[in-house]
Amino acid sequence: MTSTTDKQSSTSIPPVFHNNDKGTFGYYTATERWPIIISNCINDLDNHLNQLSANLLKEGVADYELIESSGKVIKNKILALRKDIVKGDVLLEKFPEKLIAKRPIYKDFNLYLENPDDGQPPNSLTWANSGWLFSEVYLYNRIHQYFLESGSAYWIKQFDIFNAVKQSTFKSSIYGVLELAIKYKNLHPKFINELTYNAEGTNLDTLQILFNEFVEISLWGNATDLSLLTNATLEDIKSIQGAEARKKSESKILINDTKRAWEHLLSSNKNEKSGKRVDIICDNSGFELYADLLLALFLLDTRIVDKVVFHSKDIPYMVSDVMNKDLTILLNDLMDPSFFPRNDNTNDDPFTFLADHVIEYLNSEKIIIKDDPFWTNYFDYWSIDSNSEGSAIYNEFIESKTSLIIFKGDLNYRKLTGDRRWDRTTPFKAAIGPLSHNGLPILSLRTCKADVVVGLSDGVDEKLCNEWEALGHEYGSWWCSSGKWAVICFSEGTS
């Protein structure tokens, strides 16, 4: 039994994971998961095309034939892409120069392909030998390229090739959605009337417990244990029973810096003009976005913060990642009785109650959602710095005096750490490079679904590798790709 990561000195920067690193989850993803994802794209696009003409005719769209024919061209390009991925040794193509004006970040990809910085020769990257993080981000930009090339506003602006799976997945989460909506409806009066944060520091113990709970809900999504919040009184929240429920869910959290993040959030300087702000770098739409909204509502209702900014993707990406339109769709789904059936026909239901409060905060700009092509570029987050490619993002965070930046999910964690072969005991602050000292307070909420993980205590990786192998898995090191464990890592952003 061995871990996938090689021992590194404390000062060295290890190489990135590559698609041909056999025995890694990245290798499995490139050879097994990507072809399935692309096949699902083709099937969903095919289903859409089968109904497209009738739907467009019904809507009175005159150029429906042109839209349909360009959709078939897109489908054929995606079919060819799948063949290249399966073959593996096909060179990654540069993005067409004519499209760079429409999507400037294509130029960044082309420059990297010309001269990779991961030890590969110029113009030599294939689906098989390229870095996992780079090629995965490249893949979703390639898919979007085909829609851009169509020149059709319908395919570029109105169609999300992953929308069908996003919607079906969210709809199947009805029980978790309903349970959380009921919890919020019951707790909301307490937030407004009893638990409002104030300078005197009253209720801080209870607010901290609730912060822990909502962070864990955001971390785990529908895997979290929600029982703590059922019809909770303030005493129930503090009860031994509640502590036991938290302890059970926390046993799978290998690193938990929630307390440090809470203390930093309370102590951070308040911006006199716009108030205290939290930024959330989104991961998945649907239930995870819904859980993130619960965290935002808690922070705003209790006046711990004055604004929550959600950062989304500007293209359909990584199958289920949040785009701006996905928030609107989620709110419409919550208010639609045909999407989430009600037991009665009254308007006073928990789904609508929650949606109304989100909409109220959106209208007052206390909740904001915004996209930026930086989040769909290949750059890792070491570039969120004043002198790097992410300088605009960095400057926004610094100028807004954000109190906390919450990076959600596995991909954001991989970008924070550069998706490198760090020894798993490497401190989190070492693995995030300049982010550890450039003034940005970072909280990473990540269920482990990839090879990279850092910050573990001595012996933890070896123990989990042995346990995972004992369950019959070929690679013990894949425990950290299973989604069964999690880490909550905080960096205050100062040396």
Residue-wise pLDDT for 382-405, tens only, equals: 999 999 999 999 999 999 999 999
pLDDT tens string 254-307: 999 999 999 999 998 665 455 799 999 999 999 999 999 999 999 999 999 999
Mean pLDDT calculated for residue range 46-56: 91
Task: Tell me how far the alpha carbon of residue 311 is from its chain's centroid.
Answer: 10
**In this prediction, what percent of the chain has a pLDDT beyond 70?**
90
Q: Sheet of 277-281: strands edge to edge?
A: 253-256, 486-491, 442-447, 404-408, 277-281, 307-312, 367-371
How confident is the model over 92-112, as pLDDT tens digits? 999 999 999 999 999 999 999
Between CA 91 and CA 482 the distance in angstroms is 30
Could you tell me which residues are beta bridge partners of residue 281? 311, 407
What percent of the chain has a predicted confidence (pLDDT) above 90? 80
| Residue burial 16-37, b: 16+ Cβ < 10 Å; e: rest | bbbbbbeebbbbbbbbeebeeb
- Paired tokens of 368: 């904001």
What is the pLDDT at residue 230?
A: 42
**pLDDT average, residue stretch 235-242:** 50
What H or E segment, with its residue span, contains residue 355?
helix 350-363
- Overall average pLDDT of the 408-427 stretch: 97
Q: Is the pLDDT of residue 181 over 70?
A: yes
The amino acid present at 30, given as its one-letter code, is A
175, two tokens: 């029980």
Q: Please state whether beta strands 486-491 and 253-256 pair in parallel, antiparallel, or not at all (unpaired).
A: parallel
Region 14-40: mean pLDDT is: 96
**Residue 404: closest CA among 257, 291, 286, 273:** 257
pLDDT given for residue 224 in this prediction: 41
Asked if pLDDT for residue 168 goes beyond 80, the answer is: yes
Q: What is the mean pLDDT of the chain?
A: 90
For the ranges 117-121, 240-244, 367-371, the maximum mean pLDDT occurs at 367-371
Domains, the chain, ordered by start: 25-159 (1.20.930.60), 179-491 (3.40.50.10880)
Over residues 328-338, the pLDDT tens digits come to: 999 999 999 99
223 pLDDT higher than 50 = no
Residue in this structure with the two tokens 């090629």, named with its chain if needed: 135
| Tokens, residue 288 | 């995870």
